[in-house]
Structure 1
Amino acid sequence: MSSTGTAPAPVFDPAAAFPEAGVLRSAAEAGDWPTVSGFFARFTSPDERSFGVTTTMSVPAAEPMLRAVVEREPRAEPARVLLAAQYVQRGWTIRGTGPAAGVSRDQFAGMHEWLRQAEHLLIDVTAREPANAVAWWLRLITARGLGLGQSEARRRYDRLAAHHPGFLAAQRNLLQQLSPKWGGSWDAAHAFVRECTAAARPGDPQGVLVPELYLERWLELGPEAGGDFLRGPGIREEIAAAAATSVLHPAYRSRFGWVVAHSTFAMAFSLIGDLPRAAVHFRVLGGRASEGPWHYFPDPVAAHARHRDRALAKG
């Protein structure tokens, strides 16, 4: 039961919505390269491949398998990309998730060491395969972690977007880079979201960038001031329009992104206090949830259950 006692606790495991994630994770844990590589042979779109990379990079036991494949086949892709993703994960784990002011010099040094190893692999991949979307996406993450700045991050994004202009995972990462906490500005972040949503077709997933942006501003301001900000003029309507043209549009199709997208809209409408609109997204989720953006709360499971139960009871 949830903390309110009215419904089961939300399920944050991606395998609850996508059985492929469980199979891929198990294969990575077992060091079963034929099964892992078989999955990536079937993942064709950038967002599908980024989902697979995210699944395997959270499995530390996969690293020896990936090292062995790279040593055996030095130019093998996706093994080099997946190994680089392991290094990225290790670097960010050392850093932690808190603000930079709370990160020690030793943590930054450890993080940078792993990110530089990832960069070494990824530079080679993107040199040989300029259209490799997932390698460029990971290079956006390393650029942010290594503090390479706004211009370099935008250069990398532009190289990627020349081949894959609608790659949502990359857009999410650049949005982080453009926010003030990574040296950007809210004006730059808002302009980028407008750029992405203006280029999207009805039913494309880019609408989720709108609530993501506003949740970042809520996080910066804190719960009380952030809640007041979200209830400010026009924001509710802007997020509602973004939902209508993306996840709620009849043309919306997303093989692996729909849980994160509906979770994001559900959280945004919950914080605004628009329970009917929040309830729409919670009903689509059917008890599933994604770690982001609920990880902004100290207890994501309890926060999700509380907001879900309130929305479904009154919305």
Structure 2
Amino acid sequence: MSSTPPLSRPVFDPFAHHPSLATLRTACHARDWGTVSDFFAALGDEDERAYASSVVADLPGSEHLLEQASAAHPGDPLPRTLLADRYIRIGWSIRSNARASKVSEAQFGQFHSWLRRAEGLLIEVCAEHPAYALAWCHRVTTARGLQLGASEARRRYDRLAEHHPHHYAAQAKLLQQLCPKWGGSWEAAEGFARACAADAPPGGNNGALVAEVHMERWLDLDEGPDAAHMSAHAVRDELLAAARRSVLHPEYRPGFHWVTAHGHFAAALSLGRHHAEAAPHFRALGNMAGTFPWTYLGDQEAAFIKHRKTALAKG
């Protein structure tokens, strides 16, 4: 976690947040599959593996290494699963994060084509390795992108949860599916986030899902009602309770997701003008920030600086 350096512009680079990931990036650029494989093997936590997978998926051209590794190691589920994640990322970049009404038919066609390629790889992996958490995690995403419905997405999540019941990354993916923008409902989304937070062991990241679902609702409301929702005392109290059980709990041990988790609480509390309550999260973050959720607030850098300054002045 941050060692409280002097405050300056926020850093959105995950490699600055987690210097160990530079080894993974270097190995991908060098097409050094052995080092990539060893890096993942050294990660004992499935949530950490999901985060590392997203880092590889974000690297332009990483599909070339992963295609070679998949061909060279046909029995290994890792290269195919990482390749599927990369294909998902390529497809989503074509679709963009715009609402469906703003996405063209041509974009949807290419998007679904890439996701079907990813889904084919993941089906193979899950058939061969039924308990392989990383593949099931990504299949929650492909279910959403291919519009297979909430029931199918939940089935896939449940297969993962049989072996890894508190998988924060997969829970965050399913939460998106349960929101109204993907055909769900606020009752389903909020109920799921609360259940994940309540059921997780103290000191997990899972409580941040409560902050995330309230931000999603804020984003979906018109100006005026959105502020009223976030400033409600019931929302504030729920956020504070979730934070105490997760990132502010004495047993919390920061991993790859800590910037995102603290960021959700900092942003959600700030939007409700609960600035003093947001201060502990900004102190933990220092100059570290993740694109998500700050991109929801427009200019992510300006929003982070503005809310950090106000929070630290009040708390």
Report the TM-score when normalising by structure 1: 0.95
**2-side partners of 1:136 and 1:116: how far apart?**
15
Tell me the residue number matched to 2:3: none
Is the deviation greater in 267-276 or in 305-314?
305-314
Question: Does the 8 Å contact 2:230/2:269 carry over to 1?
Answer: no
Q: Secondary structure at the match of 1:230?
A: helix
Matched, 1:190 2:190: yes
**2-side partners of 1:88 and 1:305: how far apart?**
32
**1-side partners of 2:306 and 2:7: how far apart?**
10
Tell me the residue number matched to 2:261: 261
**1-side partners of 2:21 and 2:296: how far apart?**
23
Q: Secondary structure at the match of 1:289?
A: coil
Tell me the residue number matched to 1:59: 59
Q: What's the CA shift for 1:224?
A: 3.6
**2-side partners of 1:73 and 1:55: how far apart?**
21
Say what the alpha-carbon RMSD is for the aligned residues. Answer: 1.3
Q: What's the CA shift for 1:233?
A: 3.8
Tell me the residue number matched to 1:3: none
1:239-269 deviation digits (Å, cap 9, x = unpaired): 0010011111101123211111111111011
Is the deviation greater in 196-205 or in 114-123?
196-205
Is the deviation greater in 102-111 or in 14-23?
14-23
**2-side partners of 1:166 and 1:224: how far apart?**
35
Q: What's the CA shift for 1:277?
A: 1.3
Matched letter for residue 313 of structure 1: A
Q: What's the CA shift for 1:141?
A: 0.4
**2-side partners of 1:198 and 1:270: how far apart?**
23
| CA shift in 2, pair 1:283/1:36, >3 Å | same
1:86-142 deviation digits (Å, cap 9, x = unpaired): 100011001001101000111010000000000010001011111111100100000
Is the deviation greater in 247-256 or in 46-55?
247-256
Tell me the residue number matched to 2:147: 147
Matched letter for residue 164 of structure 1: H
Q: What's the CA shift for 1:44?
A: 2.0
Where do residues 195-210 of structure 1 align in structure 2 (5 Å cutoff)?
195-210=195-210
1:15-68 deviation digits (Å, cap 9, x = unpaired): 222101222122212212122111011012110100110110001221111111
Long gaps (5+) in structure 1:
1-5
Q: Secondary structure at the match of 1:39?
A: helix
Question: Does the 8 Å contact 1:263/1:289 carry over to 2?
Answer: yes
Matched letter for residue 38 of structure 2: G
Tell me the residue number matched to 1:97: 97
Q: Secondary structure at the match of 2:202?
A: coil
Is the deviation greater in 38-47 or in 224-233?
224-233
**1-side partners of 2:309 and 2:16: how far apart?**
20
Is the deviation greater in 45-54 or in 193-202?
193-202
Report the TM-score when normalising by structure 2: 0.95
